[in-house]
Chain A
Amino acid sequence: MRLRSLSRFTVAAITVPAIALGAAACSSSSGGSSSGSDTGSGGSGTTLTYWASNQAPSLDKDKEVLTPVLAQFTQQTGIKVNLEVIGWNDLQTRIQTAITSNSGPDVLNIGNTWAASLQATGAFMPYDSAAFTAIGGKEKFVKPAMDTGGAPGQDPTSVPYLGLAYGLYYNKQMLKDAGIQPPTTWEEMVAAAQKLTNTAKSTYGFALAAGSYTENVHFAFINGSQNGGEWFDSAGKPTFTSDANVQGVLRYLNLMQKDKVVNASNAQYDNGTKAVNDFATKKVAMILNQNNADNSIQSNGMKSDEYGVVPFPAPTGGQKIATFIAGINMSIFKNTKNKDAALQFVKFMTSPETQKTLGKPFSSLPVLKGETPVFTDNPEEAKTFADIYANMSKPLPLVPGEDQFESTVGKAMNTMFAKIATGGTVSADDVKAALKDAQDQVAAAS
């Protein structure tokens, strides 16, 4: 008897919080779908949903930059835009979820390296000749940027929006004090970094976003490519474990492991901003970053004449590849009810005027022909980046499995950095095994 009344009490005591907990667990962010108030003729009264990637130092700053630009668009066309800015660590997952559930935005930004992969899902609208005419013609874009729009030989599903390239940022004063010239080879770079590292004072030669899968995979690619490595064969099959790639990855990991020019804490730097902050606050002498770092550096109080930029150096005898064709593209969801409005929006965002407006706050390289970089007031820096972008770049593989390469190899790099940071060692064999695992996962998913 006692037991019975007790158990009823217990059931109540347990069930109520259990339900509450379950409900809490169920709450999740849902993709905002388009809410066009008319049938989508593309005129006034239409509302577009737009997912922007994080280009400014913070998501709020992105909103701040974009809001007046979008207001201008609304003023011109009568089309309202619902903006959501999404961080890089979440963007890919959000897009996947949107594709899976058919509840995506009308227009969105994508990392241009995902273009071919997202194209393969069939969820994005291909820009056919009519669509290109609607946004002002394919010819207005520079070729390297336009090439990232999708797989070769198909109508691209994205168009260039912002151009970016990697550079090696260095603190002029710190290098000068140490009597070092800006490095031109990998060996010089490591030697300089070692000279600039003083663990007693907690200053390091380098800061790396060693916990960010996107940053890590970019350097797996660049370092592998400097060794002549390819990550996919011509049939689109992964070839991660080639010796060139293994050695390239190991070389990058060794900045923390063997050369010890990177603080082990960097293994927890899960986005580029943290490394940039270390650089801007003069805790480190060098960082590797895309040109949009300018913004974060300057908003942290470092002036544009205090730092210089050189191409990310290759080892002596290696291929002079300093970046991939980085950047942001714009795509339209195929199932949008507001196709015309979406095209108008893309046209507006890729117009010379908007590009000029955004070039400075987003620190981007122009993707339009005949435009000059406006992201910096330092002409030397502008020239260096323009040169890297045009002459020392290699596109990431334009194959459907590219995004899987990014996520699996990027994650493997995170894990290896974590192992090094916590006192473990990573040998060439370990790198090879990790890349083999990544390759197996990509193979299983294709």
Chain B
Amino acid sequence: MSASAIREDDQATTALRSKVTTTKKKKKARRPSPRRSRWLPYLLLLPAVIMELLIHIVPMLVGIWMSFIKLTKIYIANWSAAPWAGFQNYAIAVDFDASIGAALLQSFFVTAAFSLLALGISWGLGMAAAVALQQPFRGRGLVRTIFLVPYALPAYAGILTWNFMLQRDTGLVNHVLVDNLHLTGDRPFWLLGGNAFASIVTVAVWRLWPFAFLSLMAGLQSIPSDLYEAAAVDGAGNLRQWRHITLPSLRPVNLVLILVLFLWTFNDFNTPYVLFGNGQPAGGDLISFHIYNASFLTWNFGIGSAMSVLLLLFLFVVTAAYLLITRERNTTPKAASKPAPKAPARTEDSHA
């Protein structure tokens, strides 16, 4: 333990020194044209800022405005004529005793369960695969490539293929399960009823885990192998090495990865939309899909926007809480300047 800690400190100091030197050199080189360097970064940022405004911020603000007007079919050709609705759309959306609110709440629970499962399984698979491919071996590149295939495929093509595979009469899944393996007598439906939940979790995991794998693999690359060697000398087994070296070193990766996976799964629209098409099975009624259907079914975009704003608020609160909690935990071990042995356990907690 102590040997590895010292070694790491040494390394850190050397790295720091070289960094400081390079920064100084860079500063010197830039000095001749301070005016240009002051504006250049903003200029470079400008296209991104404009696009961000156009693609994200403006539509979001329009969406918020829409949630406060009675934007039904009668007004969609001329939005400005739509009467002000105040919080009426919100009141309908959160009236859980009435059918619209109850359906939204139900969809929220389905989405929460889906999100947790898809995130957990994707992360677990990604971590397992990344660790398995950490040591070089013959054909590692090939295996890596194969693992990344679902990520490289266009989402629609991939999900549509799943849709074909999960058909009851003509699908590959039932062909294998029922015709070849004779596991069930009756052909189950995978895109209708309760099985739809299992289907959508499977498809989402299939799509997402390569991303977890990719991120974790990238993270693993930068853990120096001496750490593992030192730990092995100290008698730590694989599991212990993973817990005390891999996990804490991957903490920054995991912080971002888990947040991103959560947001993607909770917001997932493509998967249910392509997988279920016009069907909307209760088990696969994810919230984005639900809101889309609620809006387009009756052309009631005011209420759809109100639901979207509620979803946005929820995700915002969760993300803010997540960032706050993880930052607090981040600062404590840093103040101690040495990775405390307890840190890994905490990191692990946050995955649950």
Confirm or deny: B249 has a beta carbon within 8 angstroms of a beta carbon on chain A: yes
Q: Which of A28-42 contact B (CB under 8 A)?
A: none
Contact B298 A100 (CB under 8 A): no
Confirm or deny: A235 has a beta carbon within 8 angstroms of a beta carbon on chain B: no
Interface readout for B8-34 with A: 1 if CB under 8 Å, 0 if not?
100110011001000000000000000
A-B pairs under 8 A by CB, number: 165
Confirm or deny: A130 has a beta carbon within 8 angstroms of a beta carbon on chain B: no
Q: List, in ascending order, chain A residues with CB within 8 A of B219's CB.
A: 6, 9-10, 13
Q: A96-B296, A407-B297, A444-B303 are in contact. Are A89 and B260 (CB under 8 A)?
A: no
Q: Which of A5, A13, A123, A408 contacts B218 (CB 8 A)?
A: A13
Please measure, in the bound complex, the distance between the C-alpha atom of A440 and the C-alpha atom of B100, giving whole angstroms: 8
Confirm or deny: B169 has a beta carbon within 8 angstroms of a beta carbon on chain A: yes
Q: List, in ascending order, chain A residues with CB within 8 A of B77's CB.
A: 99-100, 102, 121-123, 334
Q: List, in ascending order, chain A residues with CB within 8 A of B92's CB.
A: 444
Q: A3-B252, A10-B215 are in contact. Are A444 and B192 (CB under 8 A)?
A: no
Binds A, one of B36-44, B118-126, B278-286: B278-286
Please measure, in the bound complex, the distance between the C-alpha atom of A436 and the C-alpha atom of B100, giving whole angstroms: 11
Contact B278 A422 (CB under 8 A): no
Confirm or deny: B256 has a beta carbon within 8 angstroms of a beta carbon on chain A: yes
Q: A437-B99, A440-B98 are in contact. Are A270 and B192 (CB under 8 A)?
A: no
Confirm or deny: A414 has a beta carbon within 8 angstroms of a beta carbon on chain B: yes
Contact B249 A2 (CB under 8 A): yes
Contact B99 A441 (CB under 8 A): yes
Confirm or deny: A400 has a beta carbon within 8 angstroms of a beta carbon on chain B: yes
Q: List, in ascending order, chain A residues with CB within 8 A of B74's CB.
A: 120-122, 400
Closest to A439 in B: B99
Binds B, one of A17-25, A105-113, A167-175, A296-304: A17-25
Q: A14-B260, A120-B73 are in contact. Are A89 and B99 (CB under 8 A)?
A: no
Q: Which of B8, B256, B282 contacts A10 (CB 8 A)?
A: B256
Q: Which of B247-286 contact A (CB under 8 A)?
A: 249, 251-253, 256-257, 260, 264, 269-270, 277-282
Q: List, in ascending order, chain B residues with CB within 8 A of A100's CB.
A: 76-77, 301
Q: Which of B212-234 contact A (CB under 8 A)?
A: 214-215, 218-219, 221-222
Confirm or deny: A178 has a beta carbon within 8 angstroms of a beta carbon on chain B: no
Q: Which of A267, A422, A442 contacts B298 (CB 8 A)?
A: A442
Contact B298 A404 (CB under 8 A): yes
Q: List, in ascending order, chain B residues with CB within 8 A of A26's CB.
A: 55
Closest to A5 in B: B222
How near does chain A come to B212, taking the closest CB pair, in angstroms? 10
Please measure, in the bound complex, the distance between the C-alpha atom of A437 and the C-alpha atom of B299, giving whole angstroms: 16
Q: A265-B168, A422-B194 are in contact. Are A444 and B100 (CB under 8 A)?
A: yes
Contact B252 A441 (CB under 8 A): no
Q: List, in ascending order, chain A residues with CB within 8 A of B155's CB.
A: 21, 24-25
Q: Which of B277-336 contact A (CB under 8 A)?
A: 277-282, 293-294, 296-301, 303
Contact A17 B211 (CB under 8 A): yes
Contact A270 B193 (CB under 8 A): no
Q: A2-B249, A444-B100 are in contact. Are A265 and B218 (CB under 8 A)?
A: no
Confirm or deny: B135 has a beta carbon within 8 angstroms of a beta carbon on chain A: no
Confirm or deny: B2 has a beta carbon within 8 angstroms of a beta carbon on chain A: no
Contact A441 B297 (CB under 8 A): yes
Q: List, in ascending order, chain A residues with CB within 8 A of B98's CB.
A: 440
Q: Which of B168, B249, B297, B301 contacts A6 (CB 8 A)?
A: B249
Contact B297 A268 (CB under 8 A): no
Q: List, in ascending order, chain A residues with CB within 8 A of B222's CB.
A: 2, 5-6, 9
Please measure, in the bound complex, the distance between the C-alpha atom of A234 and the C-alpha atom of B253, giving whole angstroms: 63
Confirm or deny: A1 has a beta carbon within 8 angstroms of a beta carbon on chain B: yes
Q: Which of B78, B191, B253, B269 contacts A122 (CB 8 A)?
A: B78
Contact A408 B303 (CB under 8 A): no
Q: A6-B252, A17-B214 are in contact. Are A422 and B73 (CB under 8 A)?
A: no
Closest to A12 in B: B218
Confirm or deny: A11 has a beta carbon within 8 angstroms of a beta carbon on chain B: yes
How near does chain A come to B69, taking the closest CB pair, in angstroms? 13
Please measure, in the bound complex, the distance between the C-alpha atom of A437 and the C-alpha atom of B280, giving whole angstroms: 15
Which residues of B pack against A, CB within 8 Å? 8, 11-12, 15-16, 19, 55, 72-74, 76-78, 92, 98-100, 103, 151, 154-155, 167-169, 187, 189, 191-195, 211, 214-215, 218-219, 221-222, 249, 251-253, 256-257, 260, 264, 269-270, 277-282, 293-294, 296-301, 303
Which residues of A pack against B, CB within 8 Å? 1-3, 5-7, 9-11, 13-14, 17-18, 21, 24-26, 89, 93, 96, 99-100, 102, 117, 120-123, 211-213, 264-265, 267-268, 270, 334, 400, 403-404, 407-408, 411, 414-415, 418-419, 421-424, 436-437, 440-442, 444-446
Identify 5 residue pairs between A and B in the complex whose beta-carbon atoms are under 8 Å apart, listed by A's number.
A121-B77, A418-B279, A440-B99, A441-B100, A444-B300
